């Protein structure tokens, strides 16, 4: 389906369209997310769907003055891989604004602050099996977090390896299938596409 000349392209948008939930059960309550089962009325039929109930997350594509992107190597046990990812984290602070959560994660995982922020892209990571939604921000005008404010990282985060990669090299790695994290793939490609448009398509956001 394509729009005819003179017809708006606004139809090409994912729209919120919830179906009635007939019944629902909490199958498992986890430390970070839960597993739920819901019977959904589709009109012609009712179906049982099980899914991960996720709090959501944010990620940060941090670019320096040389258009290098910061990636962190982190072990992800479900896929048994060391993945190269941007700084990211859960929306686990009640009432916290998205951009403030992103700034917090940038400071905690990369010891960095950013003076300039844009909303870059957002994605449902696994819409057939989870309601996880990740909002990816672009951060620029970077500076180091003062030593007395450094965050003490633990568990997998304590072993993260940071690297600065030219954005074009990161794009090549994504297109060659060498990088697999959804925040890396979507964030890197979105940043490259936005740069090609002179950054004019991005929505700037303010901290606080």
CB 95 within 8 A of CB 83: no
CB 141 within 8 A of CB 116: yes
Gap between the Cα atoms of 93 and 121, Å rounded: 21
User: How far are the Cα atoms of 122, 141, 158, 173 from residue 133, in angstroms, in the given order?
Assistant: 7, 26, 25, 24
* The one catalytic residue among 23, 50, 157, 203: 157
Gap between the Cα atoms of 208 and 204, Å rounded: 13
Tell me if residue 157 is catalytic: yes
**Burial grade of 49 (CB within 10 A; 0-12, 13-18, 19 or more):** middle
The catalytic residues are: 157
């Amino acid at each position: 389906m394509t729009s005819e000349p003179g017809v708006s392209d606004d139809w090409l948008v994912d729209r919120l369209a919830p179906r009635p939930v007939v019944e629902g059960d909490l199958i498992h309550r986890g430390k970070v997310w839960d597993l739920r089962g819901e019977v959904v009325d589709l009109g012609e039929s009712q179906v049982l769907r099980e899914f991960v109930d996720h709090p959501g997350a944010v990620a940060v594509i941090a670019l320096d003055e040389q258009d290098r992107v910061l990636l962190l190597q982190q072990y992800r046990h479900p896929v048994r891989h060391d993945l190269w990812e941007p700084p990211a984290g859960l929306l686990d602070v009640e009432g916290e604004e998205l951009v403030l959560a992103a700034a917090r994660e940038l400071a905690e995982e990369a010891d960095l602050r950013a003076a300039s922020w844009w909303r870059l892209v957002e994605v449902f990571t696994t819409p057939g099996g989870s309601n996880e939604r990740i909002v990816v921000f672009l951060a620029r005008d970077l500076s180091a977090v003062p030593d007395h404010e450094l965050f003490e990282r633990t568990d997998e985060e304590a072993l993260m390896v940071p690297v600065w990669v030219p954005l074009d090299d990161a794009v090549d790695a994504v297109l060659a299938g060498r990088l697999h994290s959804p925040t890396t793939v979507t964030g890197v490609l979105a940043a490259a596409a936005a740069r090609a448009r002179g950054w004019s398509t991005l929505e700037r956001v303010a901290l606080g």
